[in-house]
C-alpha cells in the first residue's frame, strides 16, 4: 500500500535532542547444540527401523523461525530414508501463507526449505479431512496429504506461546491440532478463543493421536540466544507427557529484557519468523489476546521500524506497537495480516499504529508523547527484534541499572543515534 506523505503538526516540530545509546550485553545461559546431523542421527536410534521401513512419511514443517531448520529437516529426511522410509514434507502452519497452498510453500522457501535443500518433496494442499471431534462436537481436521501417508512425524520448536499460558503452548501438540488442520482446522479451534486453549489443546491432541498414524515427534529447543539447545525424539505414546516437561525447560530458557520500566522501546524489525505476533509478548508484555501471565516490563511507547522479508508481508503484531513508519507499513500485505488475525479471532494484532514518515519522526513522536521525561531522563532501549536481545542499546538514564545488575554489562562506548538523509535510523 502507498500511504503517501504524512503531514503532522507537533509542538516544536520534528526535532528532539536524542540521547546517545550505549551497547549492553545481556547474559543468559548458552547451552548449545553444535552438531545437528549427529544429534538427529543419535535421536533416530530410538526409532526401530521396522517402524518406518517402506512407509511414506509426512514430516511437518511450520512457519516459525527455527535456528538450523534446513539442517534439521535435511538430517531428519536422510535419517528416515536410511531406515528404508519414503519421507516428504507437509507445510503445517494453519492459515499462514495467505491460507493458500502456494503461499505456504513460499513461506517455507523464505526459510530456505526447498526440495533441493532438504532432499524431500514438498506436498502442499489446503484440503483437509475430518478425523475426530471434541466432546462438544467441534470437528478436528487434518491435512489430507498427511492423513493418506503411512506415518506422520511432528517436528517443531517447543516454546512459550504469544497469546496464552498453559501446559501446551507452541509445540508438537499445537502443530498437530492447528498447523496440520490447515485453515479450516485452525478456524474451528480458534473459534473457542485462546482462553479455552489450556483445555482444548490436550483434548484435541489426545483424540488426534488416537486416530492418526503419528510415529514420533521431534522436539526442538532453543536458548535465549536463538541458538539450538536440544533436539529430542519423543515416541508417540510419550508426546503429551514429555511436551509439558520440555515447555517448562523452554520457558526457563527464553530471553527477556532485564529492566522494570522503559519509556521507549525501539524495535528494528517485527515478523512472523520472529514471533507469531511479530514481537514476542514474552518480551514486550503485550499479548494481542490480553490474557494474563505475561510478566514483562512496563513500556510507555513501542516503535516498530520495519517488517522482515521472511514474513512475506504478514506484519501481524504491528498492532502491539504504538508507532511505526511508512517504510514498514507499506510493506505489509493487509490480506495476509487479516487472514491470520481473523483465523485467530484476535483483531488487535492486525490494527495499525500511528504511522510516521520515517524512523526519525516516529522516534521523535514516541519521545514527545512519553509522560514525565526529559532528554536526560528518557529510558530508551533499542533491539533488533524480540528474538535477538543478547546485545541491546540503552540510553544513559538506564546505565545505573546496568551497572547494578550481574546479568548486564556495558559492551562499548556510547554513540549518537544517527539517521540517513531519508530519516532512517542507522545500524548501531
Task: Give every CB contact of residue 199 below 8 A, 6+ residues apart in sequence.
Answer: none
- State the DSSP code for 50: G
DSSP character at residue 5: -
Asked whether residue 184 falls in the same domain as residue 328, the answer is no
> What pLDDT score does 59 carry?
98
Is the dihedral angle over the CA atoms 212, 216, 219, 220 positive or is it negative?
Answer: negative
Residues 222 and 268 in one domain: no
Alpha helices in 254-310 (DSSP H): 281-284
Please give the helix or strand (H or E) that residue 184 lies within, else none. helix 182-190
pLDDT per residue of the chain (428 residues) written in tens, 0 to 9: 788 888 888 988 999 999 999 999 999 888 889 999 999 999 999 999 999 999 999 999 997 778 899 999 999 999 999 999 999 999 999 988 888 999 999 999 989 999 999 999 999 999 999 999 999 999 999 999 999 999 999 999 999 988 899 999 999 999 999 999 999 999 999 999 999 999 999 999 999 999 999 999 999 999 988 889 999 999 999 999 999 999 999 998 888 899 999 999 999 999 988 888 899 898 998 988 888 877 768 999 999 999 999 888 989 999 999 999 999 999 999 998 998 888 888 899 999 999 999 999 999 999 999 999 999 999 999 999 998 999 999 999 999 999 999 999 999 999 999 999 999 999 98
Q: How far apart are CA 198 and CA 337, in angstroms?
A: 25
Alpha-carbon distance of 335 to 341, in angstroms, equals 10
Q: Are residues 237 and 275 in the same domain?
A: no
**CA–CA separation, 66 vs 73, rounded Å?**
11
DSSP type of residue 31: -
Q: What is the pLDDT of residue 109?
A: 92
Burial of 2 (0-12, 13-18, 19+ CB in 10 A): exposed
Look-up of cell digits 505476533: 277
Asked if residue 86 and residue 46 are part of one domain, the reply reads yes
Q: Could you tell me if residue 2 is inside a domain?
A: no
Quick one: 158 exposed, middle or buried, by C-beta within 10 A (0-12, 13-18, 19+)?
Answer: buried
> Is 420 a domain residue?
no
**Residue 144 has what pLDDT?**
98
* CA-derived radius of gyration, the chain: 22
Residue 189's domain is classified under what CATH number?
A: 3.40.50.11440
Contact 262, 299 (CB under 8 A): yes
Residues 99 and 245 in one domain: yes
Count of the separate structural domains present in the chain = 2
* pTM listed for this prediction: 0.80
Length of the chain: 428
> Residue 380 has what pLDDT?
98
Q: Are residues 95 and 51 part of one domain?
A: yes
Specify whether the CB–CB gap between 19 and 380 falls below 8 A: yes
Specify the DSSP element, H or E, that contains 92. Answer: none
**Inside any domain, residue 215:** yes
Question: Residue 27: its pLDDT value, please?
Answer: 92
In a domain, 340, yes or no: yes
Backbone angles phi, psi at 293, to 5 degrees: 105, -5
**Are 51 and 162 contained in the same domain?**
yes
**CA proximity to 140, closest of 225, 62, 76, 204:** 204
124 within domain boundaries: yes
**CB count, 10 Å around CB of 131?**
17
Does 270 lie in the same domain as 241?
no
Residue with cell 514486550: 284
Q: Are residues 275 and 353 in the same domain?
A: yes
CA 373 to chain CA centroid, nearest Å: 33
Query: Which residues make beta-bridge pairs with 61?
Result: 91
Q: Classify residue 205 by burial, with Cβ atoms within 10 Å: 0-12, 13-18, 19+.
A: buried
269 with 228, same domain? Answer: no
Q: Report DSSP state, residue 177.
A: I
Residues 278 and 359 in one domain: yes
Sheet strands (E) in 50-137: 56-61, 86-91, 128-133
Q: Is the dihedral of CA 29, 31, 34, 35 positive or negative?
A: negative
DSSP state of 170: B
Cα separation of 69 and 75, whole Å? 10
Domain limits for position 179: 36-253
Specify the 3-state DSSP secondary structure of 212: coil
- Establish if 103 belongs to a structural domain: yes
> Are residues 231 and 290 located together in one domain of the fold?
no
Strand, coil or helix: 217: strand
The whole-number pLDDT of residue 326 equals 96
Within a domain: residue 69?
A: yes
Q: Is the dihedral of CA 32, 272, 101, 1 positive or negative?
A: negative
Amino acid at each position: 500500500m502507498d500511504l503517501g506523505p504524512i503531514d503532522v503538526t507537533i509542538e516544536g516540530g520534528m526535532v528532539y535532542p536524542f540521547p546517545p545509546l550505549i551497547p549492553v550485553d545481556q547474559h543468559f545461559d548458552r547451552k548449545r547444540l553444535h552438531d545437528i546431523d549427529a544429534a538427529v542421527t543419535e535421536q533416530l536410534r530410538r526409532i526401530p527401523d521396522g517402524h518406518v521401513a517402506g512407509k511414506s512419511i509426512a514430516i511437518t514443517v511450520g512457519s516459525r523461525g527455527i535456528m538450523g531448520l534446513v539442517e534439521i529437516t535435511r538430517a531428519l529426511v536422510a535419517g528416515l530414508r536410511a531406515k528404508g522410509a519414503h519421507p516428504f514434507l507437509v507445510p503445517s502452519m494453519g492459515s499462514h501463507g495467505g491460507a493458500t497452498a502456494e503461499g505456504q510453500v513460499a513461506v517455507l522457501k523464505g526459510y530456505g526449505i526447498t526440495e533441493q535443500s532438504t532432499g524431500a518433496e514438498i506436498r502442499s494442499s489446503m484440503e483437509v479431512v475430518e478425523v475426530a471431534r471434541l466432546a462438544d462436537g467441534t470437528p478436528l481436521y487434518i491435512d489430507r496429504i498427511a492423513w493418506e501417508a503411512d506415518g506422520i512425524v511432528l517436528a517443531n520448536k517447543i516454546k512459550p506461546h504469544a497469546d496464552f499460558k498453559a501446559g501446551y503452548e507452541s509445540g508438537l501438540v499445537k502443530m498437530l491440532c492447528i498447523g496440520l488442520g490447515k485453515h479450516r482446522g485452525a478456524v474451528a479451534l480458534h473459534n473457542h478463543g485462546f482462553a479455552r486453549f489450556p483445555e482444548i489443546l490436550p483434548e484435541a491432541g489426545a483424540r488426534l493421536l488416537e486416530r492418526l498414524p503419528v510415529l514420533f515427534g521431534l522436539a526442538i529447543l532453543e536458548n535465549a540466544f536463538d541458538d539450538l539447545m536440544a533436539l529430542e525424539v519423543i515416541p508417540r505414546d510419550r508426546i503429551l507427557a514429555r511436551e509439558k516437561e520440555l515447555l517448562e525447560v523452554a520457558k526457563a530458557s527464553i530471553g527477556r529484557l532485564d529492566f522494570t520500566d522503559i519509556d521507549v522501546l525501539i524495535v528494528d524489525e517485527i515478523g512472523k519468523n520472529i514471533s507469531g505476533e511479530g514481537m514476542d509478548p514474552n518480551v514486550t508484555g503485550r499479548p494481542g489476546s490480553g490474557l494474563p501471565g505475561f510478566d514483562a516490563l512496563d513500556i510507555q511507547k513501542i516503535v516498530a521500524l520495519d517488517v522482515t522479508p521472511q514474513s512475506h508481508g504478514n506484519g501481524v503484531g504491528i498492532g502491539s506497537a504504538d508507532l511505526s513508519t511508512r517504510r514498514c507499513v507499506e510493506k505489509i500485505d493487509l490480506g495476509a495480516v487479516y487472514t491470520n488475525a481473523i483465523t485467530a479471532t484476535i483483531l488487535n494484532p492486525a490494527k495499525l499504529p500511528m504511522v510516521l514518515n520515517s524512523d526519525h519522526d516516529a522516534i521523535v513522536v514516541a519521545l514527545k508523547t512519553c509522560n514525565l521525561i526529559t532528554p536526560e531522563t528518557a529510558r530508551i532501549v533499542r533491539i533488533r527484534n524480540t528474538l535477538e536481545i543478547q546485545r541491546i542499546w540503552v540510553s544513559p538514564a538506564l546505565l545505573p541499572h546496568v551497572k547494578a545488575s550481574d546479568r548486564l554489562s556495558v559492551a562499548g562506548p556510547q554513540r549518537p543515534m544517527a539517521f540517513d538523509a531519508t530519516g532512517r535510523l542507522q545500524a548501531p
